Amino acid sequence: MTVANVEKNVRQRYSEGAQTQVAELCCPVDYDPRYLEIIPAEVIERDYGCGDPSKYLEPGETVLDLGSGTGKICFIASQVVGAEGRVIGVDMTPDMLDVARRNAPLVAERAGFANVEFRRGRIQDLALDLERLEEEISAAPVDSVERLLALEERAAELRQSEPMIADDSVDVVVSNCVLNLVDSELKEQLFAEIYRVLKRGGRAVISDIVSDEEIPQALQDDPELWSGCISGALGESGFLEAFERAGFHGIRIVERQSEPWQTVAGIEFRSLTVEAFKGKEGACWERKQAVIYKGPFKEVLDDDGHRMQRGQRYAVCDKTYGLYRQQPYAGLFEFVDPLEEIALAEAEPFDCSRTVLRDPRETKGEDYEATTTGEAPCCGPEGCC
Ligand SMILES: C[S@@+](CC[C@H](N)C(=O)[O-])C[C@H]1O[C@@H](n2cnc3c(N)ncnc32)[C@H](O)[C@@H]1O
């Protein structure tokens, strides 16, 4: 199948799915019933998700839902992030957007606030607002090659001057059973787009169908299986590697369906929810900080290539020191500050391409010669330990 065929089949299938429930596209998911109470039935019954990334959201966050369909995850996310947060759903299928947009005011009225909007776009090209492009076509219909070329140039300009989703603008990108539908040739671009729109420190929480074995070409060429969320699935480990290649760190499986959703020719297809963080890029500064991996594994390897053994004191740059204090690493490390703090403005560059131990003398200083008895901190009114 060509890229255009994949997209056309997917759009057709989900146009039908927007108008009436298509049972074979449904994968049972247990959403938190508290959030479903204010969501109209037509949204809930045309649910083609396979997981629940909304469980991992926090109040006040700006959330982008890729392939928002009839809007269910957006409407749940709206309630989780609350009036201080914001939710944007992106979908390329007009019939899906119609259902989502007609139900948004009802949900807003019941919630008491409006914080959800829906945009038409392709999730592998989040800078281009297809409705904005349509305005340009209405003004100057494409009836010649010249006009087609001019339209392509205008689309490139719009990506720059009026991006649908700007760089570094979103706290969390979520998606529920959509990434598999994007053509294989465009999947790398899709992960790069997720990375682009996230703020530094932001995260992706993606539920999708994955396969436990490589999918033969004959199955990949079957349009029904592709649009049915089967044959475009990435492999279980390939899904995690795609986040890694895009520059994410702290990538982890937060949920994995034990039983397959479907099995085709012996290949199992199941839902996986993965969380991945943006923010390991940037300059590395030496502030004489050290970390100690607490275990339980004998050794760990992070996404920057630092290999650390349990219990050893390693030199890290200021950036890594900060990252390890936050999720998903919080609790895994002990932190050792130097006796004399080095201000960031005075710090030297740190070579993050190697992993080295931090000698305790570097922490304390070569001149450190203190002797303490240990009495003062341990003795209290009830005696000494
Ligand atoms: C399996 S449904 C999932 C819908 C929704 N996330 C849910 O949980 O019910 C896939 C949705 O993704 C949309 N979609 C598929 N490929 C897309 C693409 N490349 N860009 C934008 N939307 C896409 C379809 O129109 C459809 O609404």
In tens, the pLDDT along 289-339 reads 999 999 999 999 999 999 999 999 999 999 999 999 999 999 999 999 999
Asked whether 27 lines ligand 1 (CB < 6 A), one says no
CA of 12 to the centre of ligand 1 (A): 11
- Nearest alpha carbon, ligand 1 atom 3: 48
Asked whether 43 lines ligand 1 (CB < 6 A), one says no
CA of 127 to the centre of ligand 1 (A): 17
At residue 380 the predicted structure's pLDDT band, cuts being 50, 70 and 90, is low
CA of 335 to the centre of ligand 1 (A): 43
- From the alpha carbon of 190, which atom of ligand 1 is closest? 19
Asked whether 336 lines ligand 1 (CB < 6 A), one says no
CA of 69 to the centre of ligand 1 (A): 5
CA of 363 to the centre of ligand 1 (A): 52
CA of 213 to the centre of ligand 1 (A): 24
At residue 375 the predicted structure's pLDDT band, cuts being 50, 70 and 90, is low
In this prediction, residue 285 carries a pLDDT of 98
- Mean pLDDT over the full length of the chain: 95
In this prediction, residue 25 carries a pLDDT of 79
> Is the dihedral angle over the CA atoms 151, 156, 160, 165 positive or is it negative?
positive
Amino acid at 281: E
What is the pTM for the complete model shown?
A: 0.95
Q: Over the stretch 105-153, which tens digit does the pLDDT of each residue have?
A: 999 999 999 999 999 999 999 999 999 999 999 999 999 999 999 999 9
Asked whether 46 lines ligand 1 (CB < 6 A), one says no
Whether residue 382 has pLDDT greater than 90 = no
At residue 378 the predicted structure's pLDDT band, cuts being 50, 70 and 90, is low
Asked whether 67 lines ligand 1 (CB < 6 A), one says yes
CA of 247 to the centre of ligand 1 (A): 24
Residue 216 vs residues 178, 225, 235, 264, 365: alpha-carbon distances, Å: 20, 12, 12, 11, 61
Helix (H), strand (E), coil (C) string for the chain: CCHHHHHHHHHHHHHHHHHCCCHHHCCCCCCCHHHHCCCCHHHHHCCCCCCCHHHHCCCCCEEEEECCCCCHHHHHHHHHHCCCCEEEEEECCHHHHHHHHHHHHHHHHHHCCCCEEEEECECCECCCCHHHHHHHHHHCCCCCHHHHHHHHHHHHHHHHHCCCCCCCCEEEEEEECCHHHCCHHHHHHHHHHHHHHEEEEEEEEEEEEEECCCCCHHHHCCHHHHHCCCCCCEEHHHHHHHHHHHCCEEEEEEEECCCCCEEECCEEEEEEEEEEECCCCCCCEECCEEEEECCCCCEEECCCCCEEECCCEEEECHHHHHHHHCCCCCCCEEEECCCCCCCHHHCEECCCCCCCECCHHHHHCCCCCCCCCCHHHHCECCECC
Asked whether 291 lines ligand 1 (CB < 6 A), one says no
- Nearest alpha carbon, ligand 1 atom 18: 122
Find out whether 29 and 50 touch, Cβ atoms under 8 Å: yes
Asked whether 49 lines ligand 1 (CB < 6 A), one says yes
| Phi, then psi, of 313 in degrees rounded to 5 | -100, 115
- Nearest alpha carbon, ligand 1 atom 13: 67
Whether residue 2 has pLDDT greater than 90 = no
Whose CA is closest to 328, among 277, 266, 379?
277
For ligand 1, pick from 178, 206, 227 the residue to mutate: most ligand atoms within 8 Å of CB.
178
- Nearest alpha carbon, ligand 1 atom 12: 67
- Nearest alpha carbon, ligand 1 atom 4: 69
Q: Over the stretch 25-68, which tens digit does the pLDDT of each residue have?
A: 767 899 999 999 999 999 999 999 999 999 999 999 999 999 99
Find out whether 82 and 112 touch, Cβ atoms under 8 Å: no
CA of 101 to the centre of ligand 1 (A): 15
Asked whether 229 lines ligand 1 (CB < 6 A), one says yes
CA 234 to chain centroid, in Å, comes to 16
- How far apart CA 58 and CA 326 sit, in angstroms, is 15
